[in-house]
Chain A
């Protein structure tokens, strides 16, 4: 008699014998009690019977019981059999059951079948931490490094406990780094900040950076800033965060302190931070972000606080106001408002008193993830990750319901819920245009339906003039996305796509992975918070161009319409009345020039990303000229749209960088700038003008710049092509349709 039929017999006997066992399910349960090993084998060999006779949910429960009994070591159950069992029933087994079995086996003993079942189940439950760990072990064993990185990031999202984040960080430290842009971050603190390293590492990777994080030794933040040979100076960060607790600087806040003492100690604490910040700015060009001050101690007088004399809260507010005022005077210092972080925190209490005492940890647990996410709001713009345009869906994204079905009066949009959620979201989106972001629309709708709402629904905040491009049709959204990128003359990697429909999001991610497509929550009241949390919507400064960008693109749309009615291209350009103002960079224009250097990809001859400190040095260098060009026409002011960095050598002027905003491509303003550079060089006695060109994946529009201005190719070395033009014959002249003013 085979093992198989023995078990089947046994099962049948059990069904008959056990008075309560009237179903197969109960019989298997009874068998498990009696002989777990038999039950496991029976379930493996009689899969069809088991599936036919038990509801999937019952079978899942049973598997869990069998597995737990098996792992408890009953009656010689073999681990291999349990693995086979859960793999066989992976489609219906609880994810926990599968994870429990897999984790009970050493990584080397998990076979392909089991790992395959884990991956299948992860499709069903993408955030199951236990299964993610199994998949990770497998990827590490197979040396699939990118897969391992990806799984580690997913695990951090699935389980944000401090222990798991530490585990993830340790695992990463043995992996090869990714080829993503590196970022050097320094953490300086008056307390144990180690968990923040682990959380920040994850958040930097989530925005596709490869972080390198330096932590100043325990409580030596001030010494590290001052000492000329410190590890901090050697590390030379691009951005530094200073988290000093007022509780570490004013030692006895837990007790009663007289008002005068409190004032004095508080001011002294702020002085210490400010001195350090100023010293830091003296030797470092890095951005410095300082935590606002918080105390874990409550008002010792309890609810009597603020009766008759200023309490702790008012005292801290004053200190923070002074801190912010003084830091503002430094060129690259920012205050991170900790109350703002705490207001939005997802991860529990900030203060864990036990860990504060045991490990000098003032930030503990998942809330550290909130702090790390706040940090990325500074890191992203510094690394040039800021996007340019937010592309929005309409139905269920900007209003509730579907206009094509519910009608313009049936959609939810107004001052009360349901509907006020969408209005709040629209107000926030409108505020983005004040910070220089563009908005665009892609909607699958009949244009008349959608436009009627946009133009005349009284609840609508975003009217037609808020959008720089519209695609209301039934085409696939990725196709419309490319159309928008072309119309606005920006790359798809400058776009963010917001759509309530997960399928549209998935399609966009697959077809255009460079578009940032974040998940939107199902609840519209969380839309605003979700989008606000994107680091790619942060800017370090707002320029005049930012404030008026939407109007500029609108004027561009009008120009395009003129173009259709004008005859030849030159007639069209003449009809625009283009005036350029060319000058040298000054203090006021430097931030915009820096922005152009950071963000221009297409019409950029060398794509050298100078930091603001580099540009400051260049502006002060007598051997260099940093040109600026402003342009305006009869439809409006383009603002500062082009810049050129020219280095003068004996008889040669060398154009190190030449870049122009893509929104003025095609008007000939680059020719006006080059002509001016040529004239200045000639006036200074130079004989030759040399231009450099470095090809990138994106700067094709600039490739023929020097050749079409009469330069000759001197050859390419290390990726740099040199072009030369003699200045004796004036071959760079101003286009006939451009009027030039000198600043």
Chain B
């Protein structure tokens, strides 16, 4: 009863459910229209398997790439990643695949505006310390590359609590509004950078997304 698809893409690219792919299993046993896939992705490089057991059930992704290739997922692995699942049609949030797909890019007046938002459960203090380091690191990377920081901003909110981080030049400024906290943390992140490449910024923010 398995409906199997294969889609091929670069390691760093998003392989969420809407990625172009080819069907490799002729034994399709449910309506094709339930799957949004269309065509073969041109760069045969890395293989992801995509199974649908049933349109009503969760699809399972499996992810491989060439041996020795740095897939940037920051884990010691044998180049076959664990299977993971998510509801059909939903953005894949597994490992390093999730980040870049979650980053939205807009261009305006020659500047690149990149942003993402993410909900998760983690220790708030740990998140803030980690986020501050990541913002500093992003600032340093983009300026070393000759770009100009318009601003890098992030907020961490939890219930009534909100903390905003902003970086324009050297130091990360922090503003806090104390309030009752909840378990779930929402991280919103935005960077507006001038004299930079959009895809480069997407990669940087994708890594920040994946760090949480």
A, B co-complexed: no
B residues with a Cβ closer than 8 A to A are: none
